[in-house]
Amino acid sequence: MGKGSLAIVLRADAGPGLGVGHAMRCLALGQAWRDRAARVVFATREGAPGVEARMRDEGIEVVRVAPTDAPMSPREAVRVAVETGAAWTVVDGAPVDDALIDALHDVGCRVAMVDDEGAACAARPDVIVNQNSYAAASLYADCAATTRLLLGPTYALLRREFRDRPTGQRDIPAVGRKVLVTLGGSDPDNATSLVLSAIESVGMEPLEVVVAVGASNLHAEAISRQAAKSRAFVRVERDTTRMAELMAWADVAVSSGGSTVWELAFMGLPSLVGSIAADQQALVGSSPFFESLGRFAQTAPESLSAALRSLLLDPARRLAQSSRARAVVDGRGCERVLTVLAEIDRTARRRKSGADPTDPHEARDERE
């Protein structure tokens, strides 16, 4: 994909009931697409001003779509794609049906879906991206034969703050004393409070804790009050843009099982991971490179406290976790996805123009 080519529309929603994970994956793709000097438009319902501000800071345009749980209407999708001149519409988490895909195809815009659960088979997209360790072709056995599957952590979508970091060996102290708590953009059930209660019983003073509270977290004030009363030194950071820096600082993380898991893996940060939503349970129960807490809602503070203390006191386990995690995620997922989208677009344009896609001269052009 050359300079100035191929605009793209990114479609996702964010907010207190949705979290921000879908939008942050779109941000990662948008950053990588903008790095190629191409136009990016983020199409979203109203609900997350902080997310929209981050998009605009990256030179990504923001447009609003109808505030409804139904799929974006074919007419609305076509309008956004045509006004943008988009070669692709990438949908993450929002509903999609075949009528929408057909309407976009009619105006020359292909469709990619970022999926976690096999739900993309409800439609016939051109590409499906599932970055999870449990992703397998069997999840998409009912999809169209023409749908390209990009499966597994090889395609983990990481933002620039992670991709641009040097990948040196993580320091593993004999006793860990720095803990990062990050439970997603909204944490609707306030599992963060459970984690802070558990930290009170770890009994390893001095202990430093940073709590990353997302922009859509409605419990932020209560979390700050609880942190101020803690025996540990607890700092709360709201809507931080320094996650990579915080992960580099920490010795251990306590995290929810969303897209943050792949950021933790890239950073090689030993982690205890639990689920705060049903769609996180498969990931929490399947990964070989962190320790599973199960459902936060079913976890007793004493159990979490014991698990955290055990990991902080075990440098061999932390080193093993860190090494396994770094071997899984290399930070090039966005580049791999965009390369596939660009290859599909070039092949389609050559076929439309009557060129032979198997011509060796054409193949050389692709490599260039």
Checking if the pLDDT of 283 tops 90, the result is: no
Bridge partners (DSSP) of residue 10 are 42, 90
Please compute the mean of the pLDDT values over residues 133-157 and round it to a whole number: 93
Identify the band that residue 367 occupies on the pLDDT scale cut at 50, 70 and 90: very low
Architecture of domain 162-328: 3-Layer(aba) Sandwich (3.40)
Percent with pLDDT over 70 in the chain: 93
- Our measurement of the distance from residue 74's CA atom to the centroid of its chain's CA atoms, rounded to an integer in Å, reads 26
Per-residue confidence (pLDDT) for residue 363, from 0 to 100: 35
Numbered ranges of CATH 3.40.50.11190 in the chain: 7-158+331-361
Question: Is the preceding peptide bond at 206 cis, omega within 30 degrees of 0?
Answer: yes
Please compute the mean of the pLDDT values over residues 97-111 and round it to a whole number: 94
Q: Which SS3 state, helix, strand or coil, does residue 330 take?
A: coil
Identify the band that residue 5 occupies on the pLDDT scale cut at 50, 70 and 90: low
What pLDDT, in 10s, does the model give residues 241-270? Answer: 899 999 999 999 999 998 899 999 999 999
Identify the band that residue 275 occupies on the pLDDT scale cut at 50, 70 and 90: very high
Checking if the pLDDT of 112 tops 80, the result is: yes
Provide φ and ψ at 316, rounded to 5°.
-65, -40
Numbered ranges of CATH 3.40.50.2000 in the chain: 162-328
What pLDDT, in 10s, does the model give residues 61-89? Answer: 999 987 766 667 889 999 999 999 999 99
What pLDDT, in 10s, does the model give residues 183-220? Answer: 988 888 999 999 999 999 999 989 999 999 987 888 99
What pLDDT, in 10s, does the model give residues 83-92? Answer: 999 999 999 9
Pick from 210, 208, 212: which is nearest to 187 by CA?
212
**With respect to CATH, is domain 7-158+331-361 assigned 3.40.50.11190?**
yes
Global confidence as pTM: 0.89
